[in-house]
Amino acid sequence: MSDIAIGQAEPRSPFRRGAVVLLIAAGVLGFLLLMVFAAYAPERRGLDNGRANALSNSAVGFRGLFRLAEATGRAPVLVRNDRQWDGDGLLILTPESGYTSLGESTNRGRPTLVVFPKWQVEPLDERGGWASTPGPLNARDPETVLFPAIRYDIERRVTNGETLAVAGLSQDIRFDAPPMLQVLVNDRFASDDDADEDGERPRARRDARDRVFEPLITDGRGGIVLGRIGHLFVLSDPDLINNIGMRDAANARAALALLDILQADGSKGRQDATGRIMFDVTRNGFAVTASPLRLLFEPPLLAMTLCLFVLMAMVGLRALAPFGEPVARARALPFGKAALADSSAAMMRKAGRTHRLGMRYADAIRLQARRMFAIPAHIRGDTLDARLDRMNRRNDFTALAARAAAADNDTELLSAARALDDWKREKTS
């Protein structure tokens, strides 16, 4: 049967080719943007959060120091994954609470700076990136940053903005003390709190050499502001390098010089510095795990992704610009009597019944002979065949019709049909 409606024009598309191209282009572009945003959206999470970390622009954040280091060519890096700790250079940790676990980050064998927390922070929901500081944290909070390995006390002292004392560092580092300075005192290892073999309390320290941290910056009254033990540096007061401290140009210069010296593992000058300056935000809750989708947009898989996009574009262009006009499908059953006869013959041929058509062909010749010779209609059957036989004594019509009816295959049928056709031609020629 035909699948094309008879007498109905071919339907036309309601959209023009240009409109279809725009729709497809918009869909592809939207899909690509969705993939890119899904790959890199986790990195944008937490920006300008108002807390005490390198992503924050609030007063207690460290975004100012990060941007200053970036602007002066130091190329700082935001650490969003623990695997980045293995790199060379200075790692800066800014725990927002003393109860934040630092893990193995302080045992990496490379310079590491731990900045103690100081302020209570309450982000303002109505103003993104803003925060309020109701007051300082309880002193016991920063005392637990390095607990239980190292124990110490935290004191907060009122100052008049005097310059802090520097020992063992470059004299270019000159910090002015904030109005309320947080210092570290009475530092000791955990084993110092244990009783001795006689069950007595541990002996008192005899001099400053018994201290755990080597004082690098002090308040001049025994309080440590910046201390060192091996590759580990601790900064007791974050107001020296956070966004509050960056308001003062002298403090900002001193902060950059301090980073250079710590990056060189405490040596005198920046020329000994190696590696990068890394600001960790994983311990602030902004870690980003590895994403297979992100790998598609970064080397070395970026080249493969671009090749796939080019291949898709070529396939799309090929689909939009085919070679030549599209060829319309022909009808399954064409119009006309000849087509009907051909279709019927094809069906008989496929069914293997063509040799059974001999009697029908003989009837057709008999009907044509009646009309040509004007034989009355009341003469039928054997009487009609006898009369046709008398017209040609050599070839009896009855014998030819019987031969056609008795054909067992297409060859015999074709021979009998030719004989009947010759008989008709002899009578009409």
Distances (CA, A) of 267 to 169, 258, 274, 357: 8, 11, 11, 113
Q: What is the mean pLDDT of residues 295-319?
A: 84
Measured CA to CA, the distance from residue 179 to residue 177 in angstroms comes to 7
Q: Report pLDDT for 379.
A: 83
Q: Are 265 and 111 in contact, with CB atoms under 8 Å apart?
A: yes
CA 153 – CA 187 distance, rounded (Å): 7
Domain ranges of the chain: 46-195+205-285, 337-428
Q: How many CB atoms lie within 10 A of CB 203?
A: 9
Residue 180 — φ and ψ, nearest 5°?
-120, 110
Tokens at 287, concatenated: 């870690």
Minimum mean pLDDT among 30-34, 247-251, 263-267: which range?
263-267
Q: How far is CA 308 from CA 24, 97, 159, 236, in A?
A: 17, 47, 64, 53
Percent of the chain scoring above 70 in pLDDT: 82
Q: What is the pLDDT of residue 205?
A: 43
Q: What is the pLDDT of residues 151-189, one digit of tens each?
A: 999 999 999 989 999 987 877 788 999 999 999 999 888
Mind listing the pLDDT tens digit for each residue in 382-395?
888 888 877 766 67
Reply yes or no on domain 46-195+205-285 having CATH 3.40.50. yes
When mean pLDDT is compared across 4-18, 114-128, 184-198, the lowest value belongs to 4-18
> In the Cβ-directed half-sphere of 112, how many Cα atoms lie within 13 Å?
21
pLDDT at 1: 47
For the cut 90, the answer to whether the pLDDT of residue 373 exceeds it is no
Q: CA–CA separation, 267 vs 80, rounded Å? A: 28
Q: Running DSSP on this structure, what letter comes out for residue 76?
A: -
